[in-house]
Amino acid sequence: MSKVIKGALSLLVVAALSVFAATPAAGQQSTSRANESKLDGNKSRPAGEGAQVAASTGGVADALNPGDEAAIQSQINSVYQSFYNAYRLGPGDILAIYVDKHPEDTVPRVTVSPVGQVYFPLLGNVSVVGKTLPQLQEYFSTAIAEYIRDPRVTVALLEANSAKYGVLGDVRNPGVQIMTRPTRLLDAITASGGITDTGSASNVSILRQYEDGRVQVFTVNVKKILSGKASPEENVYLRAGDTVVVHGNLFKSIGKVTSVVGITSFVSFLTRGGR
């Protein structure tokens, strides 16, 4: 991972800490039936056998031991790396284009236009939509070689503003997915390769951050959905920015999980695009 991208990730962690610090201290919890209206924050329903809803993750949570926290952070770092390598740029994304030892040609911040272009001084308007960061970096390095001898170009993604969600925990392929269509919880788990043998289908959580920084946790019994014993509404639709956590060997208590700085950073990244 380049120094620039590592720096961008460090900024994400700092931003997430600011968001987490602003989260209300109350750790109130309530229970409700898992359905879209509840996940959208509409009026509560009587407690039942559906999803359990924690009003905020701002309460005091038991700390993970260092080994567990390191394992969680390792998975998150791997997910970030895969995302940055595979992400295809779209309108609204914000980039930085650095040319080593040529600050006059460096563009520290540029937004992809609605028609999928960015302006780069040496080349004019450049079409970037649909390209990955490695592809774009290679293109710039080749294209400006006419003007700069042996150029060293680094392209960093500052804000990823496409609608996206994340899946972490005991699934075969944890990662960040772009939401190209309405996506239900079961769709997200399937797209991540399904739950591993160490995962718990009866203990799957959805973390959702709101504009005021508040994070809600919704726990769903996916085992009931898979067995056909749940109502259709319990296989809820995800919203852009949601993080699905499948509990098991890696992610155990949701209270402990939400105390990990890397998790708050990840949720903020998905919700706010890295701002």
At residue 221, the pLDDT reads: 93
Decide: pTM greater than 0.85: no
At residue 186, the pLDDT reads: 95
Please determine, for residue 4, whether its predicted confidence score (pLDDT) is greater than 60. no
Residue ranges of domains in the chain, CATH in brackets = 25-86+162-272 (3.10.560.10), 94-159 (3.30.1950.10)
At residue 62, the pLDDT reads: 60
At residue 154, the pLDDT reads: 96
Is residue 106 within 8 Å of residue 97, measured between CB atoms?
yes
Q: Supply the Cα-derived Rg of the chain in whole angstroms.
A: 20
- Give the pLDDT band (50/70/90) at residue 213: confident
Ramachandran region, residue 19 (left: φ > 0; alpha: ψ -120 to 50; beta: rest) = alpha
Mean pLDDT score across all residues of the chain: 80
Range 54-71 average pLDDT: 64
pLDDT tens for 224-243 read 999 998 888 889 999 999 99
Residue with more model confidence, 53 or 144 = 144
At residue 63, the pLDDT reads: 67
